[in-house]
């Protein structure tokens, strides 16, 4: 299968892949900041540059921490909990 | 075409004829039925068809308008894809249950009154439960019974609401209900509908039953029950504020559980709650754009969610497990399955070029347009969780992460074809959204591919990806289950049985002992006295009435069949007669 080869090629060049993705993230944020110079919205969330970048990072971090935290405190049970 | 043919008829007749076909003819027949229904929907015109008078109520089987048609399109297409995916299944009963399930959902779509809707509603529950039971494991049988009991509860809410509604309005026409005029009747109906839409806190049946269903059955189930419910909510209850809030809560609740779940199909089941949340919220916001968004999202969701269940089902079918903690490295052996799954995953996450991007954003944009910024933020938070759990977590831990433990092959051809076709549809809707927008109930003035929308979506998704790879160790799946509100009825039953065993039976034993020692001697004494009175006084009076009593006794004896379902059925019957008499007087 060709696809398997492509995936293995990417896996063996993981550093280049990582650097490319980081460059992409930087371009994305710059693009949003530029966009805010020309477009203005109605609500406060529309007028903060890179708002959704911050939202993405904070939201994802909180979601993982809170969900895993609550699961460990009382939601998680053994598989045969209900018998 | 002036004549209207109900598409459900193909499925009901098909289900009855299916056992007479053998071999290849049977496979052809299984695919032919959904194809016929697709053609039937394509030829349909708007209008009211099939109206009958029944018990002084007007019953309408065919209300065809844009709202019912958009759902009919996706239901029939999905029925074809589902049938193709399930083509290798040997048991006739499985296909028959599937046909009855699809047919009754189509019946519910076109119902113009509560009575026929209720009948199809119940057939849906009773046929779909077989798709769980056909897994034939104890867990599935138990989960099936819980599923059925919850749906019977929802059905009874609906039935009670329907009766109150009849006494309030004198009719059973199923029309739009305005939030201002809604009372007990309307809210009972709303509760019945909400249970099927898995609205909090009536949702636990869904992640309980769907992951226990058969591989093929789950593909059907994820499409029809909740989306029929979204349709009836969109028809009857647009603009109900409670739906906007509960729907948004559902979006976050679903992804919260999906982040911690281990079973692949349970992750997806929680995502049904989350995605249906967007639709319910859209209905609750109630503007034309929001209801359009709810319908568009239902359409797109049925396809990509079925695709995800097909992918997860294929993994379960080939490896024997859907637990992420036991999977890994499957990209080597199942690359086609992985690609199809990833197409489903990027569609549900709302990546540009795929279906979720053009449908989910309609609901989110309608929240934005009506100034509901709080709802918007929570919906986007749920969007993060969607990509995090379905897109990244499941893909990573099932298809990558560690080296493969088991050597497996790709699933059967019919499964691959079905996944391939569904993937193509997700992609076509993504690049050509007008094809979907043309089917929506209201005119569409929305354009998903704008610079700011692209910037918003790409930032949310890309930075979710970044955080995932920083915290991937924290997300390692654990072989555990997570409590949900089904805890209350599952542990509740267990507690009741314990109470029965430890308390009631002990009290019963003591009481029995007490009766034997004290009661009997008292009775003997008492009997002696009564005997004297009896012989002297009463004999004469009673003799006459004895014959009557004996007559009644034999009737009662016949009623006491000792079958619990007969008692419950009879009690319900009596309950509704009393309700009927009581309401008739006031």
- When divided into structural domains, chain A yields a total of 1
**Domain membership flag for residue A60:** yes
Tell me which chain B residue has its CA closest to the CA of residue A59: B381
Distance from CA of A52 to the nearest CA of B (A): 6
**Domain membership flag for residue A80:** no
pLDDT of residue B405: 67
Number of H helices, E strands in chain B: 24, 3
Provide the mean pLDDT of chain B. 86
Nearest to B260 among A31, A45, A71 (CB): A71
Could you give the CA distance from residue B38 to residue B43 in angstroms, rounded to a whole number?
Answer: 9
pLDDT of residue B11: 92
The helix/strand/coil state of B149 is helix
Give the residue from B370, B458, B459 with the most A CB atoms within 10 Å of its CB, the best one to mutate: B459
Q: Does A35 contact B452 at a Cβ distance shorter than 8 Å?
A: yes
pLDDT band at A7 (very low <50, low <70, confident <90, very high): confident
Distance from CA of A42 to the nearest CA of B (A): 9
pLDDT of residue B586: 46
Nearest to B455 among A3, A31, A66 (CB): A31
Q: pLDDT, tens digit, for every residue of B172-217?
A: 888 888 888 888 889 999 999 999 999 988 898 999 899 999 999 9
**Domain membership flag for residue A7:** yes
Q: Summarize the confidence of residues B340-368 as an average pLDDT.
A: 91
Q: Which residues of B248-258 are buried (b: 16+ CB within 10 A; e: fewer)?
A: bbbbbbbbbbb
Find the range with the poorest average confidence among A8-12, B45-49, B355-359: A8-12
Two tokens, residue B443: 């005119």
Could you give the CA distance from residue B167 to residue B579 in angstroms, rounded to a whole number?
Answer: 11
Q: Summarize the confidence of residues B465-474 as an average pLDDT.
A: 86
Distance from CA of A33 to the nearest CA of B (A): 10
Q: Does B475 contact A41 at a Cβ distance shorter than 8 Å?
A: no
Nearest to B458 among A28, A64, A81 (CB): A28
Q: pLDDT, tens digit, for every residue of B102-143?
A: 999 999 999 989 989 999 999 999 999 999 998 888 888 888
Q: Summarize the confidence of residues B288-293 as an average pLDDT.
A: 91
pLDDT of residue B234: 92
* A74: contact with B, CB 8 A cutoff: yes
Q: pLDDT, tens digit, for every residue of A43-73?
A: 777 778 888 899 999 999 999 989 888 888 8
pLDDT of residue B69: 92
Find the range with the poorest average confidence among B28-37, B250-259, B312-321, B574-583: B574-583
Residue A3 has pLDDT above 70, yes or no: yes
Give the residue from A52, A73, A76 with the most B CB atoms within 10 Å of its CB, the best one to mutate: A52
Provide the mean pLDDT of chain A. 84
* Adjacent-strand bridge partners of B58: B53
Number of cross-chain residue pairs from A and B with Cβ atoms under 8 Å apart:
128
pLDDT band at B1 (very low <50, low <70, confident <90, very high): very low
In which domain, by residue range, is A17 found? 2-75
Q: Summarize the confidence of residues B496-500 as an average pLDDT.
A: 80
Task: Collect all residues with Cβ–Cβ distance below 8 Å to B225 and sequence separation of at least 6.
Answer: B105, B124, B125, B128, B196
Tell me which chain B residue has its CA closest to the CA of residue A69: B260
Residues of A in contact with B325 (CB under 8 A): none
Q: Does B373 contact A79 at a Cβ distance shorter than 8 Å?
A: no
pLDDT of residue A8: 82
pLDDT band at B548 (very low <50, low <70, confident <90, very high): low
pLDDT band at B2 (very low <50, low <70, confident <90, very high): low
Tell me which chain B residue has its CA closest to the CA of residue A45: B373
Distance from CA of B392 to the nearest CA of A (A): 12
Q: At CA B452, angle to CA B447 and CA B457, rounded to 5?
A: 90
Give the Å distances, CA to CA, from B355 to A37, B241, B278, B303, B432: 30, 27, 15, 9, 9
Could you give the CA distance from residue B39 to residue B48 in angstroms, rounded to a whole number?
Answer: 19
Sort B442 into a burial class: Cβ within 10 Å, 0-12 / 13-18 / 19+.
Answer: middle
pLDDT of residue B561: 56
Q: Does A64 contact B471 at a Cβ distance shorter than 8 Å?
A: yes
* A31: contact with B, CB 8 A cutoff: yes
B533 vs B69: which has the higher pLDDT: B69
B111 vs B512: which has the higher pLDDT: B111
Strand locations in B97-174, DSSP E? none
Find the range with the poorest average confidence among A31-45, B20-34, B130-144, B350-364: A31-45
Q: Does A53 contact B463 at a Cβ distance shorter than 8 Å?
A: yes
Q: Does A63 contact B256 at a Cβ distance shorter than 8 Å?
A: yes
**Domain membership flag for residue A82:** no
Distance from CA of A13 to the nearest CA of B (A): 16
Distance from CA of B487 to the nearest CA of A (A): 9
Find the range with the poorest average confidence among B328-332, B370-374, B379-383: B328-332
Residue B545 has pLDDT above 70, yes or no: no
pLDDT of residue B293: 92
* A14: contact with B, CB 8 A cutoff: no
Q: Does A43 contact B368 at a Cβ distance shorter than 8 Å?
A: yes
Could you give the CA distance from residue A48 to residue A40 in angstroms, rounded to a whole number?
Answer: 10
Distance from CA of B360 to the nearest CA of A (A): 17
Give the Å distances, CA to CA, from B89 to B82, B98, B216: 12, 12, 8
Q: pLDDT, tens digit, for every residue of B230-269?
A: 999 999 999 898 999 999 999 999 999 998 888 889 999 9
pLDDT of residue B378: 92
**Domain membership flag for residue A81:** no
Number of H helices, E strands in chain A: 3, 1
Residues of B in contact with A25 (CB under 8 A): 462-463, 466
* A40: contact with B, CB 8 A cutoff: no
Q: Does A77 contact B371 at a Cβ distance shorter than 8 Å?
A: no
């Amino acid at each position: 299968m060709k696809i398997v080869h492509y995936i293995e090629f990417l896996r063996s060049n993981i550093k280049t892949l990582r650097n490319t993705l980081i460059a992409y993230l930087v371009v994305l944020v710059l693009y949003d900041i530029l966009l805010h110079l020309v477009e203005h919205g109605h609500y406060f969330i529309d007028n903060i540059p890179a708002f959704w970048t911050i939202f993405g990072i904070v939201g994802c971090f909180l979601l993982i921490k809170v969900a895993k935290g609550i699961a460990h405190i009382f939601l998680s049970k053994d598989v045969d909990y209900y018998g | 075409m002036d004549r209207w043919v109900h598409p459900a008829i193909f499925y009901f007749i098909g289900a009855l004829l299916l056992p007479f076909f053998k071999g290849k003819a049977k496979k052809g027949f299984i695919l032919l039925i959904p194809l016929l229904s697709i053609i039937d929907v394509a030829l349909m015109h708007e209008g009211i068809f099939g109206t009958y008078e029944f018990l002084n109520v007007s019953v309408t089987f065919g209300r065809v308008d844009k709202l019912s048609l958009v759902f009919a399109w996706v239901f029939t297409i999905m029925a074809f894809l589902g049938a193709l995916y399930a083509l290798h299944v040997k048991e006739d009963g499985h296909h028959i249950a599937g046909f009855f399930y699809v047919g009754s959902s189509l019946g519910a779509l076109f119902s113009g009154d509560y009575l026929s809707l209720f009948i199809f509603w119940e057939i849906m529950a009773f046929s779909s439960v077989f798709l769980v039971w056909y897994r034939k494991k104890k867990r599935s049988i138990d989960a099936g019974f819980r599923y059925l009991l919850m749906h019977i509860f929802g059905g009874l809410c609906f039935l009670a609401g329907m009766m109150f509604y009849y006494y309030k309005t004198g009719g059973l026409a199923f029309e739009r209900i305005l939030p201002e005029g809604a009372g007990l009747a309307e809210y009972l109906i709303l509760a019945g509908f909400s249970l099927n839409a898995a609205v909090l806190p009536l949702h636990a049946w869904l992640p309980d039953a769907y992951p226990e269903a058969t591989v093929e059955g789950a593909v059907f189930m994820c499409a029809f029950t909740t989306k029929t419910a979204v349709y009836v909510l969109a028809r009857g209850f647009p603009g109900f504020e409670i739906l906007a809030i509960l729907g948004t809560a559902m979006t976050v609740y679903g992804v919260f559980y999906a982040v911690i779940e281990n079973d692949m199909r349970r992750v997806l089941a929680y995502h049904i709650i989350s995605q249906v949340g967007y639709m319910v919220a859209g209905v609750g916001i109630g503007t034309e754009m929001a209801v359009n968004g709810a319908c568009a999202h239902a359409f797109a969701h049925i396809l990509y969610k079925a695709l995800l269940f097909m992918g997860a089902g294929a993994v379960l079918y080939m490896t024997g497990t859907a637990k992420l903690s036991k999977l890994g490295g499957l990209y080597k052996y199942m690359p086609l399955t992985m690609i199809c799954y990833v197409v489903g995953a990027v569609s549900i996450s709302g990546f540009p070029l795929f279906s979720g991007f053009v449908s989910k954003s309609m609901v989110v944009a309608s929240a934005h347009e009506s100034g509901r910024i709080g709802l918007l933020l929570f919906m986007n938070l749920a969007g993060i969780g969607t990509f995090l759990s379905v897109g990244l977590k499941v893909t990573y831990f099932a298809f990558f992460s560690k080296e493969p433990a088991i050597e497996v092959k790709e699933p059967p051809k019919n499964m691959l074809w079905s996944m391939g076709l569904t993937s193509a549809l997700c992609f076509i809707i993504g690049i050509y959204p007008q094809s979907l927008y043309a089917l929506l109930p209201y005119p569409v003035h929305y354009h998903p591919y704008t610079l700011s929308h692209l910037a918003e979506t790409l930032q949310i998704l890309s930075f979710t990806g970044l955080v995932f790879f920083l915290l991937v160790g924290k997300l390692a799946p654990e072989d555990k289950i997570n409590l949900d509100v089904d805890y209350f009825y599952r542990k509740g039953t267990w507690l009741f049985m314990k109470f029965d065993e430890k308390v009631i039976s002990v009290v019963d034993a003591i009481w029995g002992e007490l009766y034997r020692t004290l009661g009997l001697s008292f009775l003997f004494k008492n009997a002696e006295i009564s005997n004297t009175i009896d012989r002297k006084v009463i004999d004469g009076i009673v003799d006459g009435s004895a014959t009557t009593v004996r007559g009644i006794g034999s009737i009662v004896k016949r009623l006491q069949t000792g079958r619990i379902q007969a008692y419950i059925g009879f009690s319900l019957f009596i309950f509704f007669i009393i309700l009927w008499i009581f309401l008739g007087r006031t």
